[in-house]
Amino acid sequence: MKMKSFLIRTRFFLFIAVILILFQPDLNAKTVMGIVIDKATGKPITDALVILLEKEKIYATSIVDTAGMFFFTNVEIEEFNIWTKRMGYAQIKTGPFQLTKLDILNLVIKMEATDIIMSEIIVDEKAMDAYLDKVGFESRKHGTGTYLSYKDIMKKPFVTSLDVLKTIPFVIVNTLNGDTRIYSARYAWQGSINQNVAEDAKLITTSGLDVYIDGAYEEDHNGIRMLNPHEIAGIEFYKSQAFTPLQYVFPHRGKTGVLVIWTKR
């Protein structure tokens, strides 16, 4: 077991050395990179969310890739903690870490598996329905969007919350390069921007769908994949501004469609 862990670490640091030689990052930039592994097996963990915290506030987020790797470049803060989350593993906070102007920080984060089995989580469906009624979901669901209640979601084949979104017509989920972006098929096809129908291609490229979780606007789509699908009470999807309720339309929002997720957490 120790030998496997040693080999993984050795490969990781050799990989970092090659990256630094080939790409020669800006020497004025501070970089944080690393690998997330299972504490017991030493194997890389995919789809973990790594968060840089500045005084307990989120500074930046990154989703690890298929090799368990994560990268933060041009880090401008000098002291921070790292918070790592992954469904099926205990959350872990490490730090504080400090970076000088020329620092490149390499980390190995070990996560411990938990015994939580998602299919065994019991949710009160009546409480979910009452919550949706309270937030206005029931009155809106006869409108021009796509609406999924908790019961509808439980009928879908899924492992993660992104799997649920992939079952909704006209929703495109793009997870290339470890970054999650969600688009309306009205403006995108297979994650690539369809500029023929886009009024503002730059806005769509940077924003995709405007996402709200429990009524709060979420600029970063990466957090969606960390939602427990068994705790999602309901989903509203509006494929373009013309179909979106006025409460979700702002001067710079709603143009490329809106996704609203309600959770009972």
pLDDT at 161: 86
Residue 112 class from Cβ within 10 Å (0-12 exposed, 13-18 middle, 19+ buried)? exposed
pLDDT at 56: 76
Cα-based angle 237, 242, 245 (whole degrees, multiple of 5)? 60
Does the structure show a pLDDT above 70 at 236?
Answer: yes
What is the residue whose two structure tokens read 């879908």? 156
Map residue 238 onto helix, strand or coil. strand
Q: How far apart are CA 243 and CA 19, in angstroms?
A: 46
Map residue 205 onto helix, strand or coil. helix
Mean pLDDT of all residues in 114-119? 54
Question: Which domains can be identified in the chain, with CATH numbers?
Answer: 2-111 (2.60.40.10), 118-263 (2.170.130.10)
Residue 213 class from Cβ within 10 Å (0-12 exposed, 13-18 middle, 19+ buried)? middle
More confident residue, 129 or 206: 129
What is the residue whose two structure tokens read 């649920």? 164
Strands (E), 73-209: 79-85, 92-98, 104-111, 146-149, 171-174, 181-184, 188-189, 192-193
Does the structure show a pLDDT above 50 at 201?
Answer: no
**Do you know the residue count of the chain?**
265
CB 178 within 8 A of CB 62: yes
User: Model confidence at 118, in pLDDT bands (50, 70, 90)?
Assistant: very low
CB 105 within 8 A of CB 94: no
pTM, whole model, 2 decimals?
A: 0.54
Closest of 168, 263, 169, 170 to residue 223, by C-alpha: 263
Does the structure show a pLDDT above 80 at 59?
Answer: yes
Q: Give the sheet arrangement for strand 79-85, strand by strand.
A: 57-63, 49-54, 79-85, 92-98
Give the range among 111-120, 187-196, 249-258 with minimum mean pLDDT.
187-196
**Close Cβ partners of 17 (under 8 Å, ≥ 6 residues apart):** none
Q: How far apart are CA 101 and CA 77, in angstroms?
A: 10
Cα-based angle 259, 181, 59 (whole degrees, multiple of 5)? 100
What is the residue whose two structure tokens read 């918070």? 83
Mean pLDDT of all residues in 43-53? 86
